[in-house]
Amino acid sequence: MNSDKKLSVSCFRKRKQQGDKIVVLTAYDAPMAQLAAQCGVEIILVGDSLGMAVLGYDNTIPVTMEQMLHHCAAVRRGAPKAFIVGDMPFMTYLADETDALKNAARFLQEAQADAVKLEGGAETAPLVRRLVAAGIPVMGHIGLLPQHVMTAGGYRLAGKTEDDAQRLIDDALALEAAGAFSVVLEGIPAAVSRRITAAVTIPTIGIGAGVHCDGQVQVVNDLLGLFTSFVPKHAKQYTNLNHAVSQAFSAYVAEVKGGTFPGEENSF
Ligand code: KIV
């Protein structure tokens, strides 16, 4: 399902109107980005989940602009025609509006991303408006906000009470009014995501938010079964690369130790 046509922000609202689900996957390097694009993934998110998926951190807080740009540029090289969203890391957009504009612009200029994503609801709407006015497409992100892990005391489902659900609907409406082209719904009960999805004309992209969203996003490591210590409830392992890679590495170790690698066919 490889399409050569480059998608743009305007395509995604049309997809929602047509009931055509949007497929989003994270990637952090060129080979995975190439595979994702070849297989029909429509938006590649260079998420700050990079911190846990690739860089060995416990959460997304330590991830820097330089790290994000480095990996986002690699993803672009792997998938030259993909629609790529760069995730703005912790404290690169909330402290100062000018910094936020400059940092967001770096994703477009230095890493050739098509859009940026930032976490937060109605309180970030004025910033989203400024970014969009400056020509930077923005994907919102509400519900469970990984960059708030310290103040939340962990990763908790959002929208469990009616007041919280209404607040999430208001957040999504505020982001839409500010010009966001889509919004990620993370860790939200399916019934609430359904209401949010019905309330806005921009596509909702769910992760742990049920089937009623206009699209789904998954972290590539979860989907490939690369993590073994913890499998989040929202994730489905479509394969078990951890097992396959372990087998390959063990076989390599055994063959080098046993003197059977390299064989004739690998020698000059
Ligand atoms: O960083 C990330 O991968 C994300 C997704 C979980 C939406 O923000």
What is the rounded end-to-end Cα distance, in angstroms, of the chain? 40
Relative to the CA of 49, which ligand 1 atom is closest? 1
What pLDDT score does 1 carry? 46
Active site annotation includes 123: no
224 CA to centre of ligand 1 in angstroms: 16
pLDDT below 70 — which residues of the chain? 1-4
For the chain, the average pLDDT equals: 96
Cα–Cα dist 85/184, whole Å? 12
Pocket test for ligand 1, best of 43, 186, 204, 216 (most atoms within 8 A of CB): 186
Relative to the CA of 45, which ligand 1 atom is closest? 3
What pLDDT score does 162 carry? 98
What pLDDT score does 183 carry? 98
Q: How many Cα atoms are found within 13 Å in the side-chain-facing hemisphere of 154? A: 2
118 CA to centre of ligand 1 in angstroms: 10
With 0-12 CB in 10 A as exposed, 13-18 as middle and 19+ as buried, what is 132? Answer: middle
108 membership: H or E segment, kind and range: helix 97-110
Residue 219 Cβ inside 6 Å of ligand 1? The answer reads: yes
With 0-12 CB in 10 A as exposed, 13-18 as middle and 19+ as buried, what is 178? Answer: buried
What is the model's pTM?
Answer: 0.96
Cα–Cα dist 89/117, whole Å? 9
What pLDDT score does 203 carry? 98
In contact, 86 and 43? CB cutoff 8 Å: no
Q: Which two tokens stand for residue 98?
A: 């000018």
186 CA to centre of ligand 1 in angstroms: 9
Residue 139 Cβ inside 6 Å of ligand 1? The answer reads: no
Residue 87 Cβ inside 6 Å of ligand 1? The answer reads: yes
Residue 26 Cβ inside 6 Å of ligand 1? The answer reads: yes
